Each structure stands twice: as C-alpha cells, then as structure tokens.
C-alpha cells in the first residue's frame, strides 16, 4: 500500500502545474491504410505482414511476404480497424521498432507523428491503445469496421514532451517486467511439457495397453443451443455447461434435465473446431455434439488418462483436419489405445504433473498469478498516468 501511495504522490508531483493541450489525431499525425497481401504470403518471407492477428498476439503469430507492399518505419504506430463483436483486438496498437522488417496489411491503420519534438510516438502508442474513443463503436452485435475519419478525430492529450517521456518510461518498466515473467513462464511450460512427455512414455511390453472404450464410461451431453446457453447463464451459478473452445455457461441445476448432469470427475472431449481435452471435477454438462469420459474402476485414475490424452491432442487434431469443419467422432477416442501402468504409478504421475501444472497454469499460484498481478498493476498506473483533464468526446 505504501508503494502505491508513493507512486501516486510521484505522479501527482509530475503533473503539478502541467498544461495539457488537446488536439485531434489528424492534426498531429499522418494516416495510411494497409494493403492486401493474400497473393504474396510465403512461409519464410523477408517481411512480417502486420495484420490483426499479429497485433492482437503482440507479434507471436505472424505471416510473411517477400514483397514489402506497404513499407513501415521506426516509430510508426499501427492500429487494428476491424474486429468481431466484443473482440479484444479493436483499436489495439503496435509500434514499429525496426526499418525494412514489416509490411502493413489491409484493415490496419498506419499512423506517423508529424512533429516528434512535440509528440513522442511511444506516448501516442499508449494513448491510442484500445482507447474508448474507438472501442465505443463496437455495438456488441455486428463486426466493427473503423473508418479513417473516426480514427483521425480521436482527441489526443499533449502535455510537455518531458512529461510524455517520463510517462513512457514508467509504463515501459511495467511492460518489461511482465515480458520477463512471461518469458520465464514460457521456459517453464517447455520444461513442463518435456517432463510430462517423459513421465507418460512407456514401452509396449512395459505396461498393459487398452482402448479408452474398454476402461472408461462415455456420457452424452445436453441438447442446448448457444443462444439458450447465453440466455440462462447466471454469474456464480453452480453448474457449468461446456461448449467448444473456451465457451461455457453457468446455470442452476434445474435449468437442464437431471439426466444430463454429470457429477463424476471427467475428461470432456471438445470434438469440433479446436479439438482438445479438458478435465473437470465438479457437476457439469456439455453440448450434445461433445462427449465426456469418467471411470468407476479403482485401478484407473481418470486424471492420469487426461494427462496422457493432452500429449496426444495433435493426433486428434490431425484426424479432425480432414473435415471441412475440424471434428472427430466417438470411435476416434473410444478405440484409442493408451498405456495403463499400476494405479500407484498413475497416482504418482498425477501428483507430479499437478504440481507442475500449478506452477505454469494456475491463476491462483505460481508465475501466472504473478503475471496477472503485474498486469493489473500496469493497467492501474496506465489509467492513472493517462488520466488527463477530460474534454467532451465527439
């Protein structure tokens, strides 16, 4: 708490007697639209194509080209102009840190500061990033397509240059710390995957091998639409209904038939779109195009089976990729053969992997918790540092 108070006092002093000028973005910066690259994408091209996926993943997912159709230069600020309803990419920004490396794709805006002696580009990057002056155009129903004039009409606070650079220094400190923690987490995840694969590798004659359908009970879900899930969802309700990907609804027990409720620790098979497995040990159901497995055999630890299947997700994704809409069928999992060591070995593997998993994935402990806290801290101070005296938004 004292650290926060000290930081707040420092920020208050920083802003003492500061005069802030407000100008429309079009007065202080130039704007260009990106261009289509569809016919020029190559696996290992010389230039990175800056599209919405590249910006929304902070550069982790990229496509490449050998033709720099729309060149970009150091300090150019790039902004996502299109996104799905409730999307997190709309108006997200990226700042160019190297010449001759990037090419601007269509539906991404390119912004360059006219006078860097008055406006520090990195400061503008922070101001524009997910600004409510642009995210307000998301009506939560239709795809949002920002227009050039909407972007150029965004009002920009312009304090003295030394204030801008100090704000950037503070925010960069937070983002660098988060980046360091994220890099450490990535290294831990690789280590976790390595040891998980080693623990779950058995020779053919070392253990017994059986099909999932032989050792587990397969259960159906409930007949429900996405719109119905949305309609009956209640925050903090006790029963979780799973759909594809990360989609779910929380409902009351009497919202769906009792026969469709599963109360056993289970492996949920997400069989369409992104094919993956999820473990859940509280009451649940799922859409009826999915299925789940549980065990009533004391010699089978269902979580051991889950951990083994997680190592084989790529196998099932490859099966599903043969369909226009990626999907697998129940025989694909029922007939899948897995190693069955003694239950004591299964329990030991689960205990070890649970500890690794907590360190790499848990939001209540380990690095993910630290990263989440640092992100909240960054957002708090970002809002504080960029909270200049308001003007009326158009």
Shortest CA distance to 91 belongs to which of 105, 73, 72, 78? 78
Cβ partners under 8 Å of residue 126, min gap 6: 167, 168, 171, 382, 386
Ramachandran quadrant class, 273 (left: phi over 0; alpha: psi -120 to 50; beta: rest): left
Cβ partners under 8 Å of residue 151, min gap 6: 25, 31, 79, 81, 109, 111, 134
Q: Which residues face 102 on adjacent strands?
A: 48
Give residue-wise pLDDT tens across range 207-229: 999 999 999 999 999 999 989 99
**Cα within 13 Å of Cα(89), Cβ side:** 22
123-151: average pLDDT:
95
**Cα within 13 Å of Cα(224), Cβ side:** 28
Give residue-wise pLDDT tens across range 319-368: 998 888 899 999 999 999 999 999 999 999 999 999 888 877 765 567 78
Q: How far is CA 133 from CA 120, 144, 154, 376, in A?
A: 20, 13, 6, 22
> Does residue 313 have a pLDDT over 50?
yes
239-252: average pLDDT:
93
Question: Are the C-beta atoms of 277 and 269 separated by less than 8 Å?
Answer: yes
The answer, as to whether pTM is greater than 0.85, is no
Q: What percent of the chain stands above pLDDT 70?
A: 93
Shortest CA distance to 338 belongs to which of 373, 369, 303, 312? 312
pLDDT score for 3: 57
Burial of 49 (0-12, 13-18, 19+ CB in 10 A): buried
Q: Of residues 309 and 204, which shows the higher confidence score?
A: 309
């Amino acid at each position: 708490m004292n650290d926060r108070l000290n930081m707040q006092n420092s920020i208050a002093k920083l802003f003492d007697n500061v005069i802030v000028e407000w100008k429309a973005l079009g007065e202080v910066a130039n704007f260009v639209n990106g261009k289509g690259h569809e016919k020029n994408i190559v696996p290992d091209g010389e230039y990175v194509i800056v599209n919405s996926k590249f910006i929304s993943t902070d550069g982790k997912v990229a496509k490449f080209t050998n033709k720099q159709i729309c060149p970009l230069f150091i300090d150019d600020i790039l902004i996502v102009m299109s996104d799905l309803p409730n999307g997190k990419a709309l108006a997200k920004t990226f700042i160019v840190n190297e010449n001759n490396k990037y090419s601007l794709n269509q539906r991404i805006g390119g912004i360059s500061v006219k006078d860097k002696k008055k406006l520090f580009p990195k400061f503008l990057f922070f101001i524009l990033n997910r600004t409510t002056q642009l995210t307000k155009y998301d009506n939560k129903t239709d795809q949002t397509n920002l227009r050039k004039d909407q972007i150029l009409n965004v009002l920009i606070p312009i304090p003295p240059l030394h204030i801008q650079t100090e704000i950037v220094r503070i925010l960069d400190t937070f983002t660098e710390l988060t980046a360091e923690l994220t890099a450490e987490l990535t290294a831990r995840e690789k280590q976790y995957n390595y040891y998980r694969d080693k623990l779950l590798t058995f020779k053919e004659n070392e253990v017994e091998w059986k099909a999932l359908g032989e050792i587990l009970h397969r259960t159906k879900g409930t007949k429900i639409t996405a719109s119905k899930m949305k309609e009956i969802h209640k925050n903090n309700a006790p029963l979780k209904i799973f759909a594809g990907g990360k989609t779910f609804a929380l409902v009351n027990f009497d919202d769906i038939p009792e026969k469709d409720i599963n109360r056993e620790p289970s492996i949920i098979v997400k069989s369409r779109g992104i094919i993956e497995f999820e473990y859940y040990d509280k009451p649940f159901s799922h859409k009826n195009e999915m299925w789940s497995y549980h065990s009533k055999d004391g010699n089978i630890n269902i979580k051991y089976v889950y951990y083994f299947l997680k190592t084989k997700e790529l196998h099932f994704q490859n099966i599903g990729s043969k369909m226009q809409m990626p999907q697998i069928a129940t025989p694909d999992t029922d007939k899948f053969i897995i190693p069955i060591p003694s239950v004591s070995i299964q329990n030991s593997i689960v205990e070890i992997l649970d500890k690794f998993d907590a360190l790499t994935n848990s939001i209540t402990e380990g690095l993910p918790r630290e990263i989440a806290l640092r992100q909240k801290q960054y957002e708090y101070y970002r809002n504080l540092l960029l909270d200049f005296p308001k003007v009326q938004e158009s």
